[in-house]
Amino acid sequence: INVGGTMYRLPYRLAARYPKTRMGRLATCTDHSKKVELCDDYIVQRNEFFFDRDPQFSTTYSTSTVFVRTGVLSIKGELCPRNFIEEINYWGVRIKNSQRCCRISFEEKQDELNEQLKIQTQLLAEMETEENETLFQGMAFGPARRQLWNLMEKPFSSVAAKLMGVASSMFVLVSLVAMTLNTVEEMQYKTASGQPTGRFYGEHVETACITFFTLEYLLRLASTPSLKRFGAGVLTTVDLVAILPHYLQMILECFEDKDVHLYPGDLQTVARVGKVGQVLRIMRLMRIFRILKLARHSTGLRAFGFTLRQCYQQVGCLLLFICVGIFMFSAMVYTVERDVHNTNFTSIPQAWWWATVSISTVGYGDMFPETNLGRVLALACISFGIILNGMPISVLYNKFSDYYAKLKSHEYTATGKKARGKVRFVRRAAKRLAECCEAEPAALPAPCPGL
């Protein structure tokens, strides 16, 4: 047997013991034409069957030879699991013929490889644009929509696109600052009696930011070639959540004014207006989600969100353990502290807050046990929280670092080859200055030879 240039000798009687393998079929087959179909070439003078396989995988055939001789398949751990499976399937050997300990280790390695490939695919999808530029071909205003899409979605495609990305980030920051100042009493309009009206001096800034966000969303909506994929995008949902609360607030404020004007003094109307006011406060609170718009231009935020999506099982287990600890320690400390005079542990739900603060190792001190046994339970609760909080940190941090490095590497590879759209004003100015300095000596008159 000649496998990629490596010679092997195999007796017919051994190969015939496993007729389902390729070597067994080659040994038991009597038709010469069928033998030639099982291999790539046959040399009659030397009775040599040639198989055109990669020489680096010739060790896989040696494992098949060992299987034919001993009946046990040995697994080569240094080979790629996918290539190993492909090779042994070519020779007609099954992985079930290996020993159980080796097979378990091999399957774990194979599952780990499949998980890495899945994560790699998702990471590439995270960095790739939502639509391919070829989708714009044949569409109405295709070239214009493609240029508009690149302007809005690819900040490194041109200088204008990069400036657009910087402007979007700046508007997000200005909007967050305006929302923060809106809660300061000195920055609000006041009535004649000195009471705050809820109106903010910088409302025109808020209006300008919302106008920019709305225009940005509409331009993306008009330029996308696939409305379905555009609507299913996470960042699209974030953009929509960033602008909807403002318009809902405007509508509710209209209803609030209308109700007060039409039914003054009516108790039902006053209650309804109060509920509208509560909804308005919720709408104002939802504006904080605008900060998530920074994820469109931040690799770190995308890596953090990707880490949470990939580690949802570990995070779920952590939350489960925290809930178990809260219920367990709150019940125990309530049983111990319930008979203490003027105790705060009047019920198990009251003790939930103490257990939560203790497990998180925050320790506000508003509730604390007074008995010695209660203090021992508090020490156990805090120790449990320290151990519990330290368990997932290494896993989450390692995964986040890995995902962030891969996203950053892919981003650098995608944008660094062509270096498109890089604003290098300082470098250009230095180059111009150097050119001017080189041109000045040539413009001066030549010195006199006699001097």
Dump pLDDT digits (tens) for 141-174: 778 888 888 788 777 777 888 888 888 888 888 8
- Span 167-187, mean pLDDT? 81
Instruction: Count other Cβ atoms within 10 Å, centred on residue 156.
Output: 18
Q: Give yes or no for residue 336 having a pLDDT over 80.
A: yes
Average pLDDT over residues 40-57: 78
- Rounded Cα–Cα distance for residues 291 and 312 (Å): 22
Q: How many alpha carbons lie under 13 Å from residue 275 in its C-beta half-sphere?
A: 6
The answer to whether the beta carbons of residues 61 and 83 sit under 8 Å apart is no
More confident residue, 324 or 313: 324
pLDDT in tens, 191-211: 777 666 666 777 788 888 888
Q: Which residue has the higher pLDDT, 314 or 279?
A: 314
**Mean pLDDT value of segment 271-278:** 55
* Residue 265's pLDDT band (cuts 50, 70, 90): very low
In the predicted structure, residue 130 carries a pLDDT above the cut 60:
no
- Measure the CA–CA gap between 260 and 345, rounded to whole angstroms: 45
Give the amino acid at 324: V
pLDDT value for 115: 76
pLDDT at 46 over 90: no
411 touches 387 (CB < 8 A): no
pLDDT score of 277: 57
Residue percentage of the chain with pLDDT more than 90: 8
| Residue 54, number of CB atoms within 10 A of its CB | 11
What domains lie within the chain, and their CATH numbers?
2-126 (3.30.710.10), 141-294 (1.20.120), 302-413 (1.10.287.70)
Q: What average pLDDT does range 337-357 have in this prediction?
A: 89
Distances (CA, A) of 256 to 192, 207, 252, 405: 21, 20, 6, 51
What's the pLDDT score for residue 36? 81
Confidence class of residue 323 from pLDDT cuts 50, 70 and 90? very high
Confirm if 290 and 182 have CB atoms less than 8 A apart.
no
User: Residue 340 and residue 203: Cα distance in Å, rounded?
Assistant: 54
> pLDDT digit string (tens) for 78-105?
667 777 777 778 877 777 777 777 777 7
- For residue 375, the model assigns a pLDDT of 92
Q: Per-residue pLDDT for 279 more than 70?
A: no
Phi (first) and psi of residue 98, to 5 degrees: -85, 170
Quick one: DSSP state of residue 346?
-
Find where tokens 């330290």 sit: 390
CA dihedral sign, ordered 306, 311, 313, 318:
negative
Span 41-58, average pLDDT:
76
Q: How large is the average pLDDT for residues 27-37?
A: 81
Residue 377 has pLDDT above 50, yes or no: yes
Residue 330: what pLDDT?
A: 93
Place 132 in a pLDDT band, splitting at 50, 70 and 90. Answer: low
